[in-house]
Structure formats: C-alpha cells, structure tokens
Amino acid sequence: MSRRDVEFVLYDWLGVETLTERARYADHTRETFDAVLDLCEEIAEERFAPHNKINDQQEPSIADGRVVTPHDIKKALDTVAGACLLGAGMDAGAGGLQLPQVVQTACFLWFQAANISTWAYAMLTIAGANLLLAHGTDHQVATYARPMIEGRYHGTMCLSEPQAGSSLTDLTCRAEPREDGTFRIYGNKMWISGGDHELGENIVHLVLARIPGGPPGVKGISLFLVPKYLVQPDGVLGERNDVVLAGLNHKMGYRGTTNTLLNFGEGTYRPGGEPGAVGHLVGAPHQGLAAMFHMMNEARIGVGAGATALGYTGYLKALAYARTRVQGRPAGAKDPAAPPVALIEHADVRRMLLAQKSYVEGALGLVLYCGRLLDEERSAADDAERTRARLLLQVLTPIAKSWPAQWCLRANDLAIQIHGGYGYSREYDVEQHYRDNRLNAIHEGTHGIQAIDLLGRKVVMDDWAGLVALEALVRGTVERASAAEGEARDLAAALDRSLARLVEVTRTIHTADVPAGVRLANASLYLEAAGHVVVAWIWLEQFLATSDRDDDLRKGKRQACRYFYRYELPSTGPQLDLLARLDTTTLETDGTCL
Amino acid sequence: MSRRDVEFVLYDWLGVETLTERARYADHTRETFDAVLDLCEEIAEERFAPHNKINDQQEPSIADGRVVTPHDIKKALDTVAGACLLGAGMDAGAGGLQLPQVVQTACFLWFQAANISTWAYAMLTIAGANLLLAHGTDHQVATYARPMIEGRYHGTMCLSEPQAGSSLTDLTCRAEPREDGTFRIYGNKMWISGGDHELGENIVHLVLARIPGGPPGVKGISLFLVPKYLVQPDGVLGERNDVVLAGLNHKMGYRGTTNTLLNFGEGTYRPGGEPGAVGHLVGAPHQGLAAMFHMMNEARIGVGAGATALGYTGYLKALAYARTRVQGRPAGAKDPAAPPVALIEHADVRRMLLAQKSYVEGALGLVLYCGRLLDEERSAADDAERTRARLLLQVLTPIAKSWPAQWCLRANDLAIQIHGGYGYSREYDVEQHYRDNRLNAIHEGTHGIQAIDLLGRKVVMDDWAGLVALEALVRGTVERASAAEGEARDLAAALDRSLARLVEVTRTIHTADVPAGVRLANASLYLEAAGHVVVAWIWLEQFLATSDRDDDLRKGKRQACRYFYRYELPSTGPQLDLLARLDTTTLETDGTCL
C-alpha cells in the first residue's frame, strides 16, 4: 500500500480529521490515527508479508482429525490481537479502540495487501464479534464476543449449504428447540472459511438455520451461535460440540484460509449426552437474515477492500519492476546500438500502469468513502445526515464489493503482463495476487447477486431515495468542478452526461410495464456501468482534492483521472445503450441450443 | 471440443472437402479427414485428458540432474507419434500424412483441450521439424527432422534470454565458427519450454545467436541447431553436448511443460574435448530471424488454437454444470416453495454462456480460417489467390494469436463464475483451464508485441496490401449478407460501419505527419478493436453458413452471433474514437508520478 495515497484520501479528500470533533471520536487525534496506521504497517510487514508465499505453498491439511496450518499464521494473528487491533473500530466499552470505521478500513488494507489469507481469520472474527455486539444478549457478548475481540476465540459465517450457494431461500439446516432455551442444529454448511483450525481456544460459528414450523423462504431463517466447544457458565471450555469438519476445499488461491464443509449434528459428539450441535439463538426467531446481513454488509465492503489491497500491492510491484527492468527501445528508435530503456518508457507499459493506478486508487477511494459513510451513519449530529449516509451506503455496497473485485483483478492481470514470463512464474508475487483476488467476485455474494441487489433493490428502495441520494452526491461534485478551472469543467461535463444517462436508464428499466425478468436480465451490465460512473465521480473528487498541491501526487492523480475519463468511462456508453433498449437476447435464448 | 461445431466450420463454412480436388490433397477424402479427427478425439480422451490434473499437481522436478515428469506424458506422446500424427500436415515425402493445415489444426484442438501442457512437447517438436524441412539441409532433415517426426527426438525454440524477453535486438548468445563448419554456442536462454526432459532420445534446440562480426540488431542474428546429444554420421547418439539445464521455472499453470533456463557452452561438457555447445547453422548466416519466424508464425496460430481449445473445453464444462446444477428461482418468482431451477434458466447465467460461446466459437472460426489460408497459400492454383492468402494470413496472425488468448481466457473466467465456489476449487477443472490459458497472452510474443506487429507492420506492408485484402474480404461478406434476408442485412450494416471506421482510423493513424511514438501509443487498443471487427466478420460468415439448416446448431449459432453484435461489437466504438483522436495520455505521463 502507498501510505502517502492513503493519507491523501483520508485527510485531504475525506477530511477524516474533522471526525475528532465528534463525541464518539473525541479521544482521538490525527496523531492517534497515524500511530495506528504506523503500527499496522509495521505488523503487516514483519508478521504478515513474510509468510504470504508459505501460505500458498503449504496449504492447510488434516492430520489426526485436526487442521494443520503454517505456524506463522497464529503468530501473526496473536500479534494483531495483542495490539488490540481486532477491536479497532469497536466501542471502548466493548474493549475496542473506538476508531472511525474509515481509519480502521485503511489500517486493515496493510494486512490484506501483505497476506490476505491470514488476515481472513481476523476479518471473520471481527465481523462475528460485531454481529454479537449488535444483536447478541449481554451474556452472549460477555461469553463469546469478548474472547473474540481478545483474539482467543475465532468466528465464522455459516450461510451456504452444498445444495444452496447463492440461494438462501433453499437453506435446509434445521434448528430444534430444547426446553432449556437452547437449540440443536442439524445439517451441512459448505464453503465455510475458517470453519476449522487450531488457531485459538474456540471457534464461534454463526449459523443460519430453520426452526421447524417457521415460514418458508428467507422469512423463516434464524441465526444461531454454535461454538466448537461449549462454554461453561464460568467461561471455562466444556465439551466438544457436535460440529465436525467433513473436509477441506482446495482453492486456486487464498490458500492459507481453511475452507471447509462442516457437518452439524451428525452425532460424532454428544454434548449433554445427545447428538446435535448445541446452538444459541441470536436475535429474534425468523429474523436471522437481517442480523446476518449486518455482518454481511460489513463483509462485502471488506471484500472490496481486500480486492483493492491485492490490486494495489500488485500495482506497486509492477511499477517497481517497470522502473528497473530494462527492455527494448522506444517506438521509432531504429539504432540497435542505442542502449535499451526501462519498461516504463514504453507507451503500452505506461498504459497498463495508468490503468492499474486508475483501478486501484479508484477502488481505494470507493472503499474508504464507504467507511466514511459508516462513520456518518454512526456519528453525524444531524438525523438527515445519518439517513443520507445510510442510503448512500446501501446503494454503494454492491458496487464497493464488485467493482474492486472486477477491476483490481484486472490490475493484477496487467501486473502479470508487465512482468512478462516472470509474472507467470511463482518465483514472483504477482501471479499469487491474481489467484487470490479471483475469489473476490464469488464469495459474500457473487457478481450476479450484487447486480440484482443494486438494480432490483437498492436503487428503488424507499421510493427511489437511494438513487436520488447518489444522484445528488455526484451532481454536487459536478457543480463544484464546473465552477473550477477549465479541465475540471470538462471532466464535470463528461461525468454529468454519464450520470444523467445512468439515471435515465435506471428509470426506463423500472418503468411499471417492464416485466421483472426483463428488468433484471442485464443487471450485471448495469452494475458495471454504475460502478464506472461512481468511480469516475471518485476520480473527479480526487482531482479536485489535489488543487492545493504542487507535487508528484497531484500530477499522478490528475493523469490517472484523465486516463479514466478517456479510456474507461466511455465504455459505459454501449452498456447503457443496451440497457436502455431493454435487450432480451439472453431471455430469448433457448438453453438447448447452447 | 464439440465435434459437431468443428465439422460445421470445416465443411459447412470453410468447404474443406473441396481441397481434395487439389493435387496436394488428392489422396484424401472427407472420410480420411474424419478418420483422423476420430483418432485424435480417441487418443485425446484416453491418453491426454486423464493426466491433465496430474500434470498440474506433479510439476516436473529435477532428481540427480535429470528432469522427472509424470509417466503419462511420455505414454501420450508416444501414442501420438505411433499414430504418425506429428507429421499430420507434413509432406508424404517427409514421412507425413499431407493433410490440409486446416484439418490438422482442427485435429490438434482435441489434444490442446484435453491436456495442453503435454501437447506442448508435441507442438514444439512439430514446429521444429517444419522449420528444418523448410530451411535445413538434406543432412539436417535426415539426421534431425526425421527422428522428430517419428517422435524419437523433441524440439525447442530458444529465443529469449534472461536480459532480453521481447527484445530480440538485444540477444547476446554468441556463435563462434570452427574450421569444420560447425559453430560453438555460448550464452543463456530463458523461458525455454521443453528445454530439458527424458521424454525421447534427444532434444533438438533451435537457437538464435550472433556470429561475431555480424551487423548489430536483428540483422545479425543467425539460427543454429544444437542437439542435446551429438549425433554421429551413422545416426547413433554420441557425446553429450554442452547445453545444461540451469533451472526449472515454476509457473501458475501449464505446469506439465518443463520451462527452463539453459546454459550453452559453460564447459560442463566438453564435446570433442572442448567446452562450447556444438551448433549447426540453419539457413544463411545473419538470416536466422526470418527462418525462426517461419516457426514462430506457425507457433502463434498454435497459441491461438490452444487458447481456443482451453476456452472451449471450459465452456462445455460450464454448460454441462449450468444444465444440471439447480439453484434459485427466476427473477420475479416470489414463491419460495416453488422448486428451484437449473442455473441455465437464469438470464445472467445465459449471458455468461452466450458470451463464452461467442468467444470460443468465434476463436475457433478464426484459427481454422487461418489454417485454411495456409492451405490456400500452399495449394491454390492461382498465383493471385496464393498472394491474397499470404497477405491475409500475415494480417490475421497477430489477431489469431491475441484474440483467443484474451477472450477465451475471459471465457474461462466466466466458466469459473458459473461454477461459483466450486469453480474456484481445484476439485473442479475450470480453474486449471484459466491458469493454463493465462500464459497465452505472454508466450510467442506478448499482447503488446502482437499489437505493434499488426498496427506498425502488417496493415501497412506492401503499400497497404494487407489492409486492403482484409477490407475486401469483410466487404465481400457484407455484400453477400446484404443481399440475403432481413436480419443478415442488419448485421451486415453494423459490420460495414465498424469496418469502415476501422479502416478510416487505420489511415488516420498512419498519416505521414504522425510521429512514430504517437502512432503506436495505443496499438493494443487497435489490436483489440480490429480483433472484434474480424470476429464479428466470422460470426456473420457463420450466420450465413447456417442458412440451409433447421436445427439446434443453427439456432445456437445465430443467437451467439446476435449476442456478439449486441453486447460485444459496440465496445469497439469508444476504442476507435480514442484511436482516431490520436490520444497521447500515456506519452504525456511522467513516469515518476505513477
């Protein structure tokens, strides 16, 4: 990661220092923010980066029924926990540092860039603890969330089942009530990251399951806390619960994170003398999905941040390589005796670097802006401000998840290309970043799921309030830029046209007489076009935020902004045209003729 | 691969049967073509596919100085050689089957789809033998090419050096003449596929090196044949030559093919009592590059075919998965009790399948059309026809190399996406296809190198003859389609507009006063836009070729064609606009600000 760029986004663009004027963050100053950034950078470099390749080479395995992981994973996680960083964004009362979300998101980028698969254990634990803080009972917080924040227990999110990946409607895990108020869980969960390991004392599974007799579909799903080891009232670990590792999945990348099939309640263990995994209801019955989505929305922005960090670190490596590797001569140079030049001197290499810069710095702006919105939602003095932040966050979450997953993967692809054959070899880092990053368009809701969420739900929610808020946000920047110097005015005009077209197309798609199938048929293209418009907005914001500077950062930001407006934003034209005419090619395709 | 589709392209579109009327192919009939296709399909299925995953898992290693590869590789290659398939396209007089190139290309797709990294050894051997048949002496053909065609010797192409990947100008390997007419080679070669192994009796390295005193740059490069073991006049293997394996590279994919750093002439062996690798000049001194490019152009179309085969097999696997995997409900279906549907019922999944189909079948048409041009170049009765074929082949080669590498990789990406989490796991096949295919944009000339070749050389060669031939080709189809039914006329109009714009932009870029640096600054975008226009032409051709049919193939082809014209071809609009305005963003970028 580039500390200079992160500081630019935090302080110059997003004015994060002003948050310290609010009661929630009054104990903080820019100095404390910077100190945590320093700390994370240092731990990432010393404890995370050195075993990134080891994680890739020494995939977790099972020996004597236990999961074996490289030793360095536990050391890294313990260091993070020891520095109280798992609670970086949590309330002081819960044992946290009560940092703004935007600062926490920035801090964690270093861990994600250095070693995403080790960091995933921490991320899952933080998300689980946050969910319990929001929806758990005092007892659940004290018994489970506290040791998670301390790094003694780890967390998982158990949604998918072997027969139901993206389709939560079809979950079949069963939760039978017992007289003592507990439940017994039965069923299988698939793709569970961190589902088993020996990295801490206990694992707290947060599991979606159905209480018999509840409504069908997603309205009958409840959320349960299912520990690997039962916890006695005094906090001492008790019996093994009936949750069993059924197998490890072997992935293309992200290999350090165990990914598991878990069996619940098959009777391997008999807690209290009875088969069935003991579970504790979290929140109200049948309201599990809403509570899980508390965690899921946070996880989705976390996925976007992870994709950003992987793209960013690949970009920096490609840049360093292009500056030092000497190869070929400029176009038109005929003299073979002239000395060769650095790769960066070639226009096509610069194009690939500019593309990467525009993707990874655009994505960085997007995920940090989302963090800033979370802080507004939590701490803005004004009710209307909080509502606006909530709306924007809801609209932007599918974009903040998908856009970095798509384009920072593309950045990793270009980093390989700049390295040539070296980039394709495992002796260099960039191919691993590419493989690791490929997961991000799949987990926590695929690209297609995010697309339906954005077009089918978010833009129309609350009588179009989400879209209206987004439009106002972008238009505000357009107006500010239009009042500025010449070039900003041109960029503003281009953004304004794209925005107007996006809004117009959105309204067309949601005209009353368009059938639901047609409406969502090209949702993925809509997600991509909307993403590019939003990132063009971020680039104009960053362009404006460099106004007072006169340095390399200003030059680089402005050039990447120009690249984005010239090479990238125009691609939304054909996409929006296709959406505007409600193209039905896919619907008319007879599946048998494929 | 789809046999039905390959037969459609060969016989219905490209009229390959008519080749049997020509003297060169007079011994063949459609039956013999089909018999070889049958044979390749069978060998690919029985000998290649079963160890594709094994190649990925058991990467070649070095033990006691020798390269260890999975046993199945040798068995597969020996079966191919035993069936005389290495010489499938070679003259009968050289021991070949004298099949048309287009049929050979089609046949080999099955091996590439089944196991690209085992097939690579055969492909290198075939390309090396072909080079010797074209440029070698009778003695070289008898001593080296013959055993290669019989599968006893293997071949390599030694171009790149550690300090010179894409830049052949900077090759430093040295070839010192000896009095007996041989040379001694000194230097290092990097990224040499098949550079060492124990799969045959000998390895024939074709090596670019400089004879001291020759001109600088590419005009001073000569080509040498450097066997691993010297061959005595009676054909018996003699001493070990001074070519030594310095290391294996470990790749993201394509793992079954050894990729090596070779040291020539470091004195590990002393053939004839003297250090230095014994080499035999092939062709004239300082004319090595032209001879090597004989092999290279063939290899480039082979790369395109390999990319196509990997994309195609991934598409077929995604299609099968989408038909059987049940998940979710159609958009707008509200009843959670309704049974879930197959993935293929979802519009977004069908979009991803149509995209894959349009890429892989478009690429198939492109590489087989290039094979057909090779046959025209070799066997057309008319001089003008042969010239036209040669010109078209020269223009299309960079596209046939790059377009499949880019878009069939994208097809593999979509195949993963359709599989969801399963697609990201190594228990399924599609992630390996994706990793394997990623190499194809790098080896045998990167994407950027192909772009410069197309825009800087091919379109302007012979006073624009290449571009004129391409334009006439596409316009001929436009005219034919315009005379046909309504829909074909609309497609023709769209293609005609894109073609006209491409030609206009090409002329603008090559206006006399445009500096060389500006001219080639966006060559990669030009390559991509030209590729899409060419593939749109192929789709219109295939659309027309289905006119007499009334079956699923016709429906599928037409739908994929529509998809390509609606979703893909419009993306060339913004690319060509950027090219037309001679955008200099990359040139104006100060490298220090990145």
Contact B441, A268 (CB under 8 A): no
Nearest to B441 among A191, A417, A447 (CB): A417
Helices (H), B48-192: 52-57, 71-82, 101-135, 138-140, 146-149
- Report the C-alpha gap between B297 and B291 in whole angstroms: 10
Q: Is B330 on the interface with A (CB under 8 A)?
A: yes
| Complete DSSP assignment for B456-524 | IIITTHHHHHHHHHHHHHHHHHHHHHHTS-HHHHHHHHHHHHHHHHHHHHHHHHT-TTS-HHHHHTTHH
Residues 53-72 of A with CB under 8 A from B: none
Instruction: Determine the 3-state secondary structure of B276 from DSSP.
Output: coil
Q: Which of residues 225-264 of A touch B (CB under 8 A)?
A: 249-253, 259
- Is residue B455 pLDDT above 90, yes or no? yes
Longest dimension (CA), chain B: 88
Q: Dihedral (C-alpha) B277, B281, B286, B288: value to the nearest 10 degrees?
A: -90
* pTM, entire model: 0.97
Q: Helix (H, G, I), strand (E, B), or coil: what is residue A152?
A: coil
Chain A residue numbers with beta carbons less than 8 Å from the beta carbon of B323 are 591
Task: Answer left, alpha or beta for residue B320, where phi above 0 means left and psi between -120 and 50 means alpha.
Answer: alpha
Candidates A34, A27, A106, A43; CA nearest to A76 is A43
Asked if A12 has any chain B CB less than 8 Å from its own CB, the reply is no
Q: Give the C-alpha separation, A430 to A15, whole Å.
A: 33
pLDDT band per the 50, 70, 90 thresholds, residue B549? very high
Distances from the Cα of A289 to the Cαs of A382, A396, A398, B540, in angstroms? 29, 20, 17, 49
pLDDT at B545: 97
- pLDDT for res A334: 73
Task: Say yes or no for a CB contact (<8 Å) between A578 and B567.
Answer: yes
β-pairing verdict for A174-177 and B174-177: unpaired
Q: Name the band, by pLDDT with cuts 50, 70 and 90, for residue B400.
A: very high
Shortest distance between the Cα of A36 and any Cα of chain B, in A, equals 26
Helix axes A523-545, A461-482, angle to 10 degrees: 40
Report the largest interatomic distance among the alpha carbons of chain A, rounded to a whole angstrom: 88
CB pair distance less than 8 Å for A448 and B349: yes
Q: Give yes or no for residue B333 having a pLDDT over 80.
A: no
- Residue B229, beta-bridge partner list: B240
Interface of B with A in 171-190 (CB under 8 A): 190
Judged by average pLDDT, the poorest of A352-366, B328-342, B431-445 is B328-342
DSSP A96: -
- Residue tagged active-site, from A361, A444, A541, A568: A444
Contact B424 A446 (CB under 8 A): no
Distances (CA, A) of A524 to A448, B64, B271, B347: 6, 54, 63, 10
Token pair 């994709």 is found at: A307
Whether residue A557 contacts residue A361, with contact meaning beta carbons closer than 8 Å, is answered with yes
Cβ contacts below 8 Å, chain A against chain B, sum to 278
CB A497 within 8 A of CB A482: no
User: Testing the interface with B: which of A335, A555, A594 to mutate, by most B Cβ within 10 A?
Assistant: A594
Residue in A250, A351, A551, A590 to test binding to B, most B beta-carbons within 10 Å: A351
User: Do A350 and B416 make contact, defined as CB atoms within 8 angstroms?
Assistant: no
Tokens read off for B131:
């080079």
Alpha helices in B273-382 (DSSP H): 288-324, 347-379
Instruction: Check CB contact of B480 with chain A, cutoff 8 Å.
Output: no
Angle between helices A347-379 and B523-545 (to 10 degrees): 90
CA distance A451 to chain B (A): 10
Angle (CA) A465-A468-A469 rounded to 5° is 85
- The band of B328, judged by pLDDT with boundaries at 50, 70 and 90, is confident
CB-CB under 8 Å, A583 with B570: no
Burial label, A11 (beta-carbon count in 10 A; 0-12, 13-18, 19+): middle
Count of residues for chain B? 594
Q: Evaluate whether A401 touches A448 at the Cβ level (below 8 Å).
A: no
Q: Distances from the Cα of B353 to the Cαs of A166, A316, B114, B358, in angstroms?
A: 18, 35, 20, 8
Q: Is B528 a catalytic residue?
A: no
Q: Which of A327, A353, A515 sits opposite B594 (nearest CB)?
A: A353
Q: Could you tell me if B254 and B306 are in contact, meaning their C-beta atoms sit under 8 angstroms apart?
A: no
Residue ranges, chain A, pLDDT below 70: none
B326 vs A contacts (CB less than 8 Å): 163
Nearest to B104 by CA among B298, B393, B391, B313: B298
Cβ-based neighbours of B56, under 8 Å, separated by 6 or more: B117, B253, B255, B256, B426, B432, B435
Q: What is the DSSP letter of A85?
A: G
Tokens of B12: 């219905």
User: Is residue B457 within 8 angstroms of chain A, CB to CB?
Assistant: no
Spatial contact of B400 and B385, defined as CB atoms under 8 Å apart:
no
Smallest CA–CA distance, residue B202 to chain A, in Å, is 26
Phi, psi of B425 (to 5 degrees): -100, 150
pLDDT band at B580 (very low <50, low <70, confident <90, very high): very high
Which residues does residue B247 pair with via DSSP β-bridges, in sequence order?
A: B261
3-state secondary structure of A221: strand
A444 shares contact with chain B (CB less than 8 Å): no
Question: How far, in Å, CA of B386 to CA of B378, rounded?
Answer: 7
Active-site residue among B41, B298, B377, B444? B444
SS (H, E, C) A222-275: EEEEEECEEECCCCCEEEECCEEEEEECCECCCCCCCEEEEEECCCCCCHHHCC
Pick the residue of B190, B360, B586 with the most A CBs within 10 A to test the interface with A by mutation.
B586
CB A412 within 8 A of CB A433: yes
- Residue type at position B26: A
And the tokens for A242?
A: 């009936």
Residue A18 tokens read as 């002003």
Return the axis-axis angle of helices B461-482 and B383-419, rounded to nearest 10°.
70
Q: Helix (H, G, I), strand (E, B), or coil: what is residue B281?
A: strand
Beta-carbon separation of B452 and A331 below 8 A: yes
Closest residue in chain A to residue B591, using alpha carbons only:
A344
> Which among B169, B330, B593 has CB closest to A517?
B330
Residues in chain A: 594
Q: pLDDT at residue B296 above 90?
A: no
Which tops the pLDDT comparison, A335 or B249? B249
Grade residue B402 by pLDDT with cuts at 50, 70 and 90.
very high
